[in-house]
Structure 1
Amino acid sequence: MTTLYLDTFSGISGDMLLGALLDLGLDFAAFKAQLAKLKVTGFELTAKRVAHSSIYGTDFDVVLDQGTKDQGFVETKHHHDHSEDQHHHHQAAGHHHHGEVRHLKDIEAIINASELSTTVKAQANQVFADIAQAEAVVHAMPVDEVHFHEVGALDSIVDIVGIFVALEMLGIDEVRASELVDGTGFIEVAHGKMPVPVPAVMQMRVGTAIPVRQLMDVPTELITPTGMGVVKALVQDFGPVPTDWTIQKIGYGFGKRQTKQLNALRVLICEKKNASH
């Protein structure tokens, strides 16, 4: 059995996880070919091997045709991208002649109409439904009225679907994780300041036993709604790496935020010792 272990010492977001999975050696060209089955256009994927704190890993990005970049943050009408890109997102969204927003049913329709595997479709739909449900509670509105700005939705669709495509390509049987780590304080968004953990992430913890520890010296968000949604859909157990596991490969995926520490997600491919093959 092949297990993926998420070492979330600096949180988790969609682009961090995809960067880490590519860093394990996943063929980028083959990955892009699989993702093309989504039949969605308007973006380009980039993956660069770079060093942070003298540690090499992969910086993954979804670069939209409008020139804005994915910052690993899901947008709804109350919930915009990181402050440095806010204005770009508003301008980009304004260039659309119609359909500035996508609702959950629109996103599900895109995923379901793709040529992806049944498993990938089901997992991606589960994550989007979970995020939309959390946003609906936070903003006191019906789930079918929660809407993702088109620019943000495209980022999120590529990130979330891409993660499940990558896991399928890597032949991952199960996913485990360390205790999750988030920052603290407040982040600036279009409608003011939002507390960390951000409300959607906190809402997604309701009814779960997912362990989350906050770093009091990191005054920013480290766990995005996409990151939490993927954790909820995938992770079967939390804790340290079991002593009866053999670590076979390690990958690092970098986050976009500048923090006082290494802002990366470390992933391990593990096998149980003496496991029969």
Structure 2
Amino acid sequence: MNADSKIAYFDCFSGISGDMIIGALLDAGAEFHRLKAELAKLPLSDYELHTQKISKQHITATKFDVVDKGQTAYRHLKDLNAIVEDSNLPEEIQKRAKNIFLRIAQAEARIHGQPIEKIHFHEIGAVDTIVDVVGALICLKLLKIDKVFCSKINVGSGFVEFSHGKFPVPAPATAELLKGVPIYSSDIQMELTTPTGAAIITEIASGFGELPVMVPETIGYGAGERDLSQPNVLRVFVGHQEISSDLDQDRIVIMETNIDDMNPQWYDTVMEKLLQQGALDVYLTSVLMKKGRPAIKLTVLARIGDEGKLARLIFQETTSIGIRMREEMRKKLHREIKEVNTQFGKVKFKIARLGDEIINATPEYEDCKRIAHENNLTLKKVYQLLGGVVVRL
């Protein structure tokens, strides 16, 4: 049985910013009047929203602008969260908006060496930035996007002026936000990717790379502010990706390193720490390297975006001096943990389904271990006795 997943793919050949994201999604079909109605739920005033069609190097694009008629307020993270929480916006949008603000606060705290609660949001505290963050999430909901993907990101080059000084491109906060994301710099001497754009896309994107196999239905162009030697637009492809509804699907990063000079007693700690830091799986394989040296291949399965912190942990905890990484698609059976009544009381079972059919059902090890101890049975006997429960699930 097949089902369609609606996806959006952002093509960032001229970078990405909050207003460009909204412009592209409006151009792809999100309705401006509905966006305005949703944004009106924010407890903000003294601003206006404008859109217009303009041409960028012979490409017609939608320019989205927020005109702030009030004074710029320098806010803290708690202030931004309060603005979102005091709205009547859907809980999912509130949660993601707060995640984006937190990403920015963490990046600024890292750069300035201060606790998050002491970080003043300068440009980011302005009304237009709050509207950009929340507006982008609203547009995705209006278009009923299930998943977002993104290309490698052009960050630009040169220097950029902020209220607190002159900084290299990408700006330090932008660079911090884009850790673990494929970026590049062109010969365009200006900031192409803003902290707001970086924070939004790293929150909403499920993966970064080439255009996935999809059937585009609409293509939108969001215009940037300046005129460049190339079209200063953000392109978004919106369409459907056929997936098997019988299977779950995602993209993960495979990390591998061969180690031939480490005390094998260390591996237990290394594996435990990797799993604690969010690794999906960790396993060891015996390999034979050049000159006939036996070694261990450490393999880590990671969520996209987690590879940076996991790589640092591997370098800190092992003797590895290099890690191979690749992104792969993964198909999985639907999985769930279910409590089942048995002769020993309630036991947790790990159930794997293909559609409505149960393919595997295995009692959880810790429950079996407890039952064996309490009933003076071998672990093997407990598994044998619980095996008959499968047909009654």
Q: Same fold (TM over 0.5)?
A: yes
Distance in 1 separating the partners of 2:243 and 2:157: 42
Counterpart for residue 267 of structure 1: 236
Query: Within 2, Cα distance between the matches of 1:205 and 1:186?
Result: 17
Are the counterparts in 1 of residues 147 and 206 from structure 2 also a CA contact under 8 Å?
yes
- Compute the displacement of 1:275 (Å): 7.5
The question of whether the paired residues in 2 share the 8 Å contact of 1:102 and 1:150 is answered with no
Change (3 A) 1:102 1:267: same
Matches within 5 A, 1:50-65: 50-65=54-69
The answer on whether the counterparts of 2:124 and 2:130 sit within 8 Å (CA) in structure 1 is: no
- Which residue of 99, 102, 111 corresponds with 2:75? 102
Secondary structure at 1:141 match in 2: coil
Q: Residue 232 and residue 195 in structure 1: after superposition, are their counterparts in 2 closer, same or farther (change >3 A)?
A: same
Inter-partner Cα distance in structure 2 for 1:164 and 1:32: 13
Q: Per-residue deviation at 1:204?
A: 1.6
Contact 1:57 1:253 in 2 (8 A): yes
Cα distance in 1 for residues equivalent to 2:89 and 2:123: 21
Paired letter, 2:21: L
Q: TM-score, normalised by structure 2?
A: 0.59
2:209 to 239, 245, 263: 239
Query: What are the Cα deviations for residues 158-204 of structure 1, in whole angstroms up to 9, with x where unaligned?
Result: 11011101111110000001111111111223343210110001112
Q: Is the 8 Å Cα contact of residues 56 and 252 (structure 1) preserved in structure 2?
A: yes
SS at match of 1:111: helix
Secondary structure in structure 1 of the residue aligned to 2:202: helix
Post-superposition offset of 1:257: 2.6
Give the match for residue 110 of structure 2.
137
The Cα RMSD (Å) is 1.7
SS of the residue 2:126 aligns to: helix
Native 8 Å contact 2:74 2:125 kept in 1: no
Which deviates further from its counterpart, 22-31 or 183-192?
Answer: 183-192
- In the alignment, structure 2 segments of 5+ residues that lack a partner are 246-393
Q: Is the partner of 1:252 in helix, strand or coil?
A: strand
> Residue in 1 aligned with 2:17?
13
Q: Is 2:121 aligned against 1:148? A: yes
Higher alpha-carbon Rg: 2
Output the CA distance in 2 between the equivalents of 1:137 and 1:149.
16
What corresponds to 1:223 in structure 2?
A: 193
The amino acid that maps onto 1:228 is A
Moved more, 37-46 or 4-13: 37-46
Q: Aligned partners of 2:223 and 2:88: how far apart in 1?
A: 29
Aligned counterpart, 2:136: 163
Q: Quick check: which one's strand share is greater? A: 2
* Count of residues paired in the alignment: 241
Equivalent residues of 2:123, 2:129 under 8 A apart = no
Tell me, in whole angstroms, the C-alpha distance in 2 between the residues paired with 1:103 and 1:272: 40
Aligned residue for 1:2, secondary structure, equals: strand
Worse-superposed segment, 119-128 or 139-148: 139-148
State how far apart, in whole Å, the 2-side matches of 1:56 and 1:265 are.
11
Corresponding residue SS for 2:66: strand
Q: 1:151 & 1:5 partners in 2: Cα distance? A: 25
1:151 CA displacement: 8.4
Alpha-carbon offset, residue 153 of structure 1: 2.4
Q: Is the 8 A contact 1:176 1:235 kept in 2?
A: yes
Shift of 1:59: 0.3
Q: Structure 2 CA distance, aligned partners of 1:237 and 1:148?
A: 28
Q: Using the TM superposition, give the Cα deviation of residue 227 of structure 1 relative to its aligned residue in structure 2, in angstroms.
A: 0.7
Larger RCO (CA under 8 A, 6+ residues apart): 1
Tell me how far 1:241 sits from its aligned partner. 1.5
Distance 1:263 1:105, change over 3 A: same
Checking the alignment, whether the CA contact within 8 Å between 2:129 and 2:196 is kept in structure 1 is yes
Give TM-score, length-normalised by structure 1: 0.83
* Aligned ranges 1:52-201 → 2 under 5 Å: 52-66=56-70, 92-93=71-72, 100-149=73-122, 152-201=125-174
Percent identical residues: 43
Letter in 1 for 2:24: A
Provide structure 1 residue ranges, at least 5 long, that are not aligned to the other structure. 67-91, 94-99
Q: Deviations over 1:18-54 (max 9, x none)?
A: 0001111221111101111113111100010111212
- Could you tell me which amino acid in structure 2 is paired with residue 107 of structure 1? L
Tell me, yes or no, if the aligned pair for 2:29 and 2:218 is still in contact at 8 Å.
Answer: no
